[in-house]
Copies of this chain bind each other. A is one copy, B any other.
């Protein structure tokens, strides 16, 4: 069986950077109690690997205690959380992705300039929660086009996207939001495409893969928004699409009678895991 791997599958720049920073920080702070404020990235195997170096993943700042060192996850936190962490006086390493940090700066400036702010993305995702913190009170999150009509909009609105959003979804929601803003005279819709380049390339490559292969396997955390979006995109093109977290979930039946398989992976899926998946799929072909 031919196995194609999507270009740009696996660790993106921000994830690779966060993991490198976290390991260096853990080494430097040996002896201290080590924390990661939320999962450093959305990949269970990588989180476990980091935990094996003594880093405990916690959900809230209140759980960080004693002579500690804390890592801020790649998804970022709110300014209130940043301040609360500072007040703890613990060693700190902020691995927030620079592309997410850029959105923090954009919404901060929009707020200062008096724009209403809308973030398009998953409202439960920590990246979006962090951005919302910077956008301040009155800012809103839109996860679905159906929500657009219920939103409070005003004459000057700034709109940003979660870095891993589906591009077609962002375009569609932005157009709908713009039309709502334009019911005001002298209005302005200021729309920032903050979907990152890695997301763009990964989505594009996954669509190409789904057009080419007979069956597609997407590898990544079930809680990884960008991985779930790859699965949705591929399902828009092909019936046989499977989202797995590791090679153990693969089933031989998926590949029966298929000539080719495609493998893509989320931004937080490590190279070694993709290789394991590819080699197991290839082994089915040899049987």
Contacts and interface: CB of A to CB of B under 8 A. Distances in A.
A179 B173 CA distance: 12
Contact of A200 (B170, B185, B189): B185
A226 to B, nearest CB: 15
A283 interface: no
Contact of A182 (B171, B182, B196, B197): B171
Question: Which of the listed residues A171, A191, A196 has the most CB atoms from chain B within 10 Å of its own CB?
Answer: A191
Number of chain copies forming the complex: 2
A182 B192 CA distance: 9
Contact of A194 (B170, B186, B200): B186
A190 B197 CA distance: 21
Given A171-B182, A175-B178, A182-B171, A189 B191 contact: yes
A193 B197 contact: no
Contacts of A94: none
A93 to B, nearest CB: 26
B196 A178 contact: no
Contacts of A171: 175, 178-179, 182
Given A178-B171, A178-B174, A192 B185 contact: no
A4 to B, nearest CB: 25
Contacts of A190: 188-191
18 contacts: A167-B182, A170-B182, A171-B179, A171-B182, A178-B178, A181-B193, A185-B195, A185-B196, A185-B197, A186-B193, A186-B194, A187-B192, A188-B191, A188-B192, A188-B193, A189-B191, A189-B193, A190-B190
Given A102-B186, A185-B195, A188-B192, 20 more contacts: A170-B182, A171-B175, A171-B178, A171-B182, A174-B178, A175-B178, A178-B178, A178-B191, A181-B193, A182-B193, A185-B193, A185-B197, A186-B193, A186-B194, A187-B193, A188-B190, A188-B191, A188-B193, A189-B189, A189-B193
